[in-house]
Structure 1
Amino acid sequence: MDLAFLHPLYEHPGPWASVYVDTSRHTADTPHERHLAAVAVARELSAQGADDDTCVAAREALEELRHSSEPHGRAVFARAGQVVLDPPLTRAPDGSLVRWAPLPHTAPLLELAGEDPVCVVAYVDRKGADFELRGALGRRGAGSVTGKQWPVHRTSTSDWSERHFQLRVENTWEHNAAEIADALAVCQEETGADLLILVGDEREKRSVHERLPKRLHGLVVEAEHGAGSRLLDEDVQQARTAHVRQRAERELERFLAARAPGDDGRPGAVEGVPALVEAAREHRIHELLVRPDGSDAHREVWIGEDPDQVAVRRTDLKVLGEQNSWSARADDALIRSAVATGAPALSVTPAPEEEVPVGGLGALLRWT
């Protein structure tokens, strides 16, 4: 997950109100229920020590969602009476989450607004293709391409002239497949799509797939649906979920391989809070890995005003020359450090027999 959108949260000092709300249920009573939920959130923030202005700002931001048709939910981050960031979620949270703390509680975003692969679905036939952009927040048309319209159908005779005609049909198919592949490559570049789903007859899908640039081959999924079919939302969601899972598995494999010392005797990955805190101070986190159920995620660390001012013990910050310090969750402190150095973060769920990273927090390292 690219964390650049979180920069506004670290341009201001805390404390912060962090709220995650579910907007996935829609009934006649929804506006009233959301009003009550907004009031309850403000009351909970106040009970945790938030100032009145910030409580009001959070409540008003949630009140604005009373009639929202958002399919999943929203996160709200506020301080000093102002909402600084309120990103939509791509998955509904399990109930409301309300927190008042020195740092914004951004760790849940890795699961709830993390990998959100955008898909281009290409409905392919012998004459061309229609493209549709699909994501967590809906669908829209993304263009079309029309190839040669004649001849496109074979005959069954063995007459020489008919065999010549069939060769022209073959040439038309190949030409149209190349046209579709070129247009699909342009569509992917323009939309930044993470996944390309081909729908159509087997031969047509394969012909287009083979003609796509090699850089896109790893993004292609050939749907089981034949020509004339339309992908349902659940079909696209399955493909998107599989894409996210496979990417996380690849990164986890990289992490496991990098834990062993390299030729220079140093590992390319670390796990556990002390090692990660050291890496954060030295700006060496290349990619942060977070296991949502990890025991270290909520472990207490100490932070200063700057992102690289993080320590396992409060006295360590004083040794580093930081006079002001606050306690924070390890995952939120490490995410702040990752944002400051441009490192991405990824939520990983290992196989049941594994516990990787140990404690739930790990990182691939960069060397400076």
Structure 2
Amino acid sequence: MLFQRTSWKAVGLVGPDIMDLAHLQPLYETDGPVVSVYLDTTRAAHDAEKQIELRWRAARRSLAEQGAEEETLRLLDGVVGGVAELPGPQGEALFASGGNLLGAFTLAEPPAADSAQVLPVPDPLALAVDRDHQLPHVVVAVDREGADVEAYEAAGHAPSLRRSFHGSTLHISRVKAGAEAQASFHRRSVNQGTENTGQAAEDVRSAAAQVDAEVLLVAGDPKAVGLLREHFAADPPLGKLVYVGGGRTDASAREGLRAAVDTAIREEMAACHRGVLDTLEGELAGGRALQGIPSVKEALSQGRVDTLLLTADRSGDPVLHASRRDPRALGTDPAALGGDSSVFSAPAAPLLLRSAVLSGADFTEILPPTRATDGVAALLRY
């Protein structure tokens, strides 16, 4: 399912896969250089702990060569490593400055490559992209005896609500007997199964409301799932219903459920992004959106950007200049910032994202096949 390690409130999605960036603000509460680290912390291999140690050792060496303070590196020595008890793929994003930890996050997917940078500002783009791929959701595995229901906020590594319900199993199994007895047991079996799935349906409605779920992922015994469908038809829960494989009967069924849930979330995320990107194309045609670094940086400087859109691959980014005094101001030439003595330079993406965070803009990723000039676009407030 979905994972986060942080002391702050879980990320919120303000629309269909448009992400509120407010949770990144603590990363900017420093004027000194910031260390940004992304590591693969998956523990699938038998020697995973050793591999993670070697990855961090290489990252630490690179950070030292870039001028990171030893105090900050020692701090990260005690933090790095991800979540040991978390199964399946995971990654880690760490941010620190001046011996202080600004943020530690567990990623739902490992980074494409480990990275370690020292820049004047944090580089949380890969973290923002990871969060942009998550949706608040509920997972329910049901059989005729009960259900396991778990509700996840967007990017929550642990469920914010979990309920395992086991109804009476006395009359669940059909029995061979005389005609009257068989009919009686049959009725009791059906009635008890209906009652159990009715309780499960109520749990799902409550869980979905708690996390404002966008997707409900349902798996389990076909007959119990059929009964659950009937309850949902009469009183639909919040969110889109998606039926997946897996169940609650044993470890194999639960592993199958995990894999099916991950696949379904990716598919729903892609569908949500298509809606946002269709909106972008329409707004560009109508003049209510912009694309390209020059236009978007000016709109950010003016506080006009409602949603910043970026591609994840920023390998061709130019350097921009920014101000400590006015976090929205960006320029291709330091002179354009009026002789401000606090001006500094950094790659474009971290500065565009900083301006977006500190001006209250939202974020979403530009996914293929949609394209934008420089891999940058913006939906405007006005």
Which range, TM-score by smaller chain?
0.7 to 0.9
Distance in 2 separating the partners of 1:129 and 1:38: 41
Query: Is the 1:77–1:83 contact (alpha carbons within 8 Å) kept by the matching residues of 2?
Result: yes
Work out the CA distance in 2 between the residues paired with 1:67 and 1:89: 9
1:253–1:125: structure 2 CA closer, same or farther, 3 Å change rule? same
Number of corresponding residues: 349
Q: Which moved more, 1:201-210 or 1:95-104?
A: 201-210
Q: What secondary structure, in the 3-state scheme, does the structure 2 residue paired with 1:49 have? A: coil
Measure how far apart 1:211 and its partner are: 3.5
Name the residue aligned to 1:198: 218
> Which residue among 29, 44, 59 is the counterpart of 2:62?
44
Distance 2:145 2:58 in 1: 57
Question: Secondary structure, in 3 states, of the residue corresponding to 1:336?
Answer: helix
* Aligned equivalent of 2:322: 303
Kindly tell me: are residues 143 and 34 of structure 1, through their superposed partners in 2, closer, same or farther at Cα, counting changes over 3 Å?
closer
User: Quick one: which amino acid aligns to residue 301 of structure 1?
Assistant: L
Residue equivalent to 1:98: 116
Residue 91 of structure 1 and its aligned partner are, at CA, apart by: 1.2
User: For the Cα contact (< 8 Å) 2:198–2:228, is it kept in 1?
Assistant: no
Higher relative contact order (CA 8 A, sep 6+): 2
Residue in 2 that maps onto 1:222: 243
Contact 1:122 1:130 (C-alpha < 8 Å) held by counterparts: yes
Structure 1: segments with no counterpart, 5+ residues: 262-266
Distance 1:122 1:215, change over 3 A: closer
Report deviation, 1:140.
Answer: 9.2
> What is the Cα deviation at residue 183 of structure 1?
2.7
Secondary structure at the residue paired with 1:76? strand
Q: Report how far residue 253 of structure 1 moved.
A: 0.9
> How far did 1:340 drift?
1.6
What are the residue-to-residue correspondences of 1:258-337 with 2, within 5 Å?
258-261=283-286, 267-293=287-313, 298-305=317-324, 306-318=326-338, 322-337=340-355
| TM-fit CA distance, 1:92 | 0.8
Please show how residues 64-103 of structure 1 align to structure 2 within 5 Å: 64-65=79-80, 69=84, 71-103=89-121
Q: Would you say the 8 A contact 2:145–2:172 is kept in 1?
A: yes
Instruction: Name the SS of the counterpart of 1:91 in structure 2.
Output: coil
- In angstroms, what is the RMSD of aligned CA positions? 3.8
Name the counterpart of 2:12. none
2:270 corresponds to which residue? 245
Aligned to 1:264: none
Residues 1:132 and 2:153 aligned together: no
Whichever residue aligns with residue 234 of structure 1, its letter is A
1:41 Cα deviation from its structure 2 partner:
2.5
Q: Is the 8 A contact 2:119 2:346 kept in 1?
A: yes
C-alpha spacing 1:317/1:122, structure 2 compared with 1 (3 Å): same
Q: Which runs of 5+ in 2 are unaligned?
A: 1-18
Does the residue aligned with 2:216 lie in a helix, a strand or coil? strand
Give the CA deviation at 1:282: 1.8
- Note closer, same or farther for the CA distance 1:68–1:55 as it changes in structure 2 (3 Å cut): farther
Cα pair 1:90 1:114 within 8 Å, conserved: no
Distance in 2 of aligned mates of 1:335 and 1:179: 45
- SS of alignment partner, residue 105 of structure 1: coil
Displacement of 1:190 in angstroms is: 2.5
* 1:208 pairs with 2:223: no
Q: Give the drift of 1:33.
A: 4.6
Deviation sequence 1:215-264 (CA, Å, 0-9, x none): 52x3x212256896945321111111112111111111111111122xxx
Judging changes above 3 Å, is the alpha-carbon distance between structure 1 residues 363 and 167 closer, same or farther for their aligned structure 2 residues?
farther
The TM-score with structure 2 as length reference comes to 0.76
Q: 1:66/1:131 Cα in 2 relative to 1: closer, same or farther (>3 Å)?
A: closer
Shift of 1:210: 2.0
- The CA deviation string for residues 310-357 of structure 1, in whole angstroms up to 9 with x for no partner, is 123322211xx6332111222211211221233221223222xx5x22
Aligned to 2:375: 360
User: Quick check: 2:161–2:207 contact (8 Å CA) kept in 1?
Assistant: no
CA distance in 2, matches of 1:191, 1:366: 28
Distance 1:167-1:31 versus aligned 2 partners, 3 A rule: closer
SS of 1:308 mapped into structure 2 = coil
For the residue of structure 1 that corresponds to 2:149, the secondary structure is strand
CA distance in 1 between partners of 2:33 and 2:307 (Å): 26
Match in the other structure for 2:207: 187
Equivalent pair of 1:32/1:66 in contact (CA under 8 Å): no
Q: State the AA in 2 paired with 1:337.
A: S
Matches within 5 A, 1:172-183: 179-183=199-203
**1:11 is the counterpart of 2:29:** yes
| Structure 1 residue 120, shift from structure 2 partner | 2.0
Provide the rounded CA distance (Å) in 1 between the counterparts of 2:216 and 2:321. Answer: 44
Question: In the alignment, which residue of structure 1 is the partner of 2:73?
Answer: 58
Counterpart CA distance in 2 for 1:97 and 1:66 is 14
Q: SS at 1:9's partner residue?
A: helix
